[in-house]
Structure 1
């Protein structure tokens, strides 16, 4: 069965192979980190159909191709990820990186920044509640 586990998956340039492994060993919660717009579209759509989530980073706000793909993903399956320490601005300001991601999501979703933030918080909270853990400060999206 799909046990109460959380898999954080960074499959840079190996998305199709990662999908094959996940198909053979299904888990309840899978979060794809650092998903590239150049990755196979079919893999993304299969992952979304399986209920996986996509964590988007600061580059999403500047990547039109990734924004286009995000429009096809339910809001309930999107999380933020700063890709720390690599995706965080040179200043190391995580709050600035999160605001940039949320601003990008608000553009994609055509909503306010506050609505985007609330949606991402609900998504993290749903995972935490299912796993029986509290939402840690490191997962909070508030600046």
Structure 2
């Protein structure tokens, strides 16, 4: 199983969850919301074979934490993964669009100057602006659009830029989410959960729920669950080849 976007540090007992994921052999990309969270979040992966940590600054926090970008830049050499970063154009956050964009562009520019990274990117309500920045910085081939909810036209643009997509149970339980998934190239999709923010009823999704997303994709693709899992695993292997030194 692969959970390519999970806020591992924000669960009630992240150490136990990390141990459970390691024991189950679940590949987890543990994302951070601020650079200051990096040390404790990265520590969850210490000694673990299957857990990787992404360095991020969430767009919802960009207007409060923009002064942490310099810290993020100093930490860039510690990881080949960047996230969660991006833009949020939802009503509650669109008033901060200007500072979000400055932060996003600076992070992309700095990471690309260091040889590029694999990115997990938030684009809710801001897909056009996100795609413009990815084109500007040449990041499309290693950018994973997490829980993409744009239009079909925006999806086509993302595909043209050679972007990737991560989809989870919460996305795939909606009609629009499933419709978008059917249009995404099969060779560019990974599974995610976005736990603990995404939920199943009252329960936060955990990395083990990536199996649910894989089963949903199997139905979308009209293949067996084993075939879907093999495709997703192959997709991850392909993505990791795109940034030297990534495992």
TM range (shorter): 0.7 to 0.9
Please report the TM-score for the alignment, with normalisation by the length of structure 2: 0.49
Q: Does residue 1:100 correspond to 2:209, yes or no?
A: no
C-alpha distance in 1 between matches for 2:205 and 2:136: 38
User: Is the CA contact (8 Å cut-off) linking 2:195 and 2:206 kept in structure 1?
Assistant: no
Highest CA radius of gyration, 1 or 2? Answer: 2
Task: Give a deviation string over 1:22-80, Cα, whole Å, max 9, x none.
Answer: 121112301000212xx222111111121101100112331122222222221101111
C-alpha distance in 2 between matches for 1:51 and 1:92: 29
Bigger drift between 100-109 and 122-131 goes to: 122-131
Correspondence for 1:32: 145
C-alpha distance in 2 between matches for 1:98 and 1:51: 23
- Structure 1, unpaired ranges of 5+: 135-143
Bigger drift between 4-13 and 98-107 goes to: 4-13
Where do 4+ consecutive residues of structure 1 move more than 6 Å? none
User: Is the CA contact (8 Å cut-off) linking 1:60 and 1:104 kept in structure 2?
Assistant: no
Aligned Cα root-mean-square deviation (Å): 1.8
Please report the TM-score for the alignment, with normalisation by the length of structure 1: 0.81
User: Is the CA contact (8 Å cut-off) linking 2:120 and 2:143 kept in structure 1?
Assistant: yes
TM alignment of 1:1-143, pairs within 5 A: 3-27=115-139, 28-36=141-149, 39-89=150-200, 90=203, 93-95=206-208, 97-131=209-243, 132-134=245-247
C-alpha distance in 1 between matches for 2:246 and 2:143: 16
The number of residues matched between the two structures is 130
User: Is the CA contact (8 Å cut-off) linking 1:61 and 1:103 kept in structure 2?
Assistant: no
Deviation at 1:5, TM superposition (A): 2.3
Correspondence for 1:139: none
